[in-house]
Amino acid sequence: MTDFDDIRPYLDHEVPDALHRLLRDAEFLDFISRHLVPRMRKLAPGLARFLVSRFLISRTDGIRDVNSLQRYEAHYARSLVDRTTTSLTVSGLDELPSDRPCLYISNHRDIAGDSMILNYVLHQAGLDTVHIAVGDNLVQRRFATDLMRLNKSFFIKRSEEGPRKIYAAMKQSSAYIKQSLCEGHSIWIAQSEGRAKDGLDTTDPAVIKMFGLAHNKRPWVELLPEVNLVPLAISYEYDPCDMMKARELYEIDTNGHYEKPPNEDLISLATGLGGVKGRVHLAFGSPITGDLNPDEIAAEVDRQVVSGLKVYPINHWAFSTLATQYGGEYADLLPAIEKSEMSSDLLLHGEGDIVSSDRHDQCPEPHRPFWLAAYGNLLLNKGRQGLLGT
């Protein structure tokens, strides 16, 4: 057993057994049938599981290693992108060095969608897909573990307790990232733990510090060019999980905590992948270099991510509504936003508020302030960082 056997993705020789186990797992088949054949699942759940199993077994016949599985997933990703987005655009990818792997660090809005779309874009560009950092809180069930590890995911142990165990877990993650980069594998990791449900994308310096744990206190001015840290901004016009996030934030604000229902992470995963996203944009930043400390690196990640985020009509509408209804910092920034080039561009193209208002009205009234913030805070973040022209 290596130091990474409990967190790493599956290797080629492990793929057939993992697939065999997954495609016969009753919980997994029930989860898939809920979305593929929902009516049959209600009427005859056993039959639904059987038919889904037969279907998936026939589709995955011949998959024997990671590369063949990735090719299969590329077809699925193409279908998903075509079905759930109106456009997918990319900037900055051509400017990145192609002779070495990247450590991509991005904002995090969707449990599986962020890395899926990144891998789809890389695959379309003829580049290798990334190894994906995933919190072990998402793998409470065996089928979820198999699914993630088949998809080139490795686990960050966030469930450890006590300073020594937490430090050991972070050092193991750091060592795995270091080894993967040395072997030529690019990595994707979120800028902080969990999704930014309130729309405020910020980098946790602890994530940056974790990168350095396996490098024996080498100065960051030497380490940054070696890890090739590239900020990535992922913009969704619509968030399929927006109402679920608003409900959670409302519960926390009202009751001081949120009791997550069983299977909510899996439901969020499926909703995020299969829900309508509208326009999607990936903005690849520039590799970070220089004599910087972790706090300064985190600030530069924030600057590049927030600068790269696209402003869609729903963001503008939500911010204007917040400014009108709640005042405060939103109202203070509104004149600058109204005068900005991006605001003029939205008006020039005649993009109205009908869709934004309709989505807002579908949200339960007590949750609406949090729904508005999830979309409007993108502009708040840009305003705070002096990036309203981006």
Residue-range domains of the chain with CATH: 65-308 (3.40.1130), 313-384 (no CATH)
How much is the pLDDT for 345? 58
Residues paired with 104 in a beta bridge: 188, 230
The structure's pTM equals 0.94
How much is the pLDDT for 337? 86
- Which distant-in-sequence residues (6+ apart) come within 8 Å of 238 by Cβ? 275, 276, 277, 278, 314, 359
> Is the distance from CB of 109 to CB of 239 less than 8 angstroms?
yes
Q: Where are the beta strands (DSSP E) in 119-174?
A: 131-135, 153-156
How much is the pLDDT for 356? 78
Both tokens assigned to 346? 């939205």
Q: What is the pLDDT of residues 295-335, one digit of tens each?
A: 999 999 999 999 999 999 999 999 999 999 999 999 999 99
How much is the pLDDT for 344? 54
Res. 348: pLDDT tops 60:
no
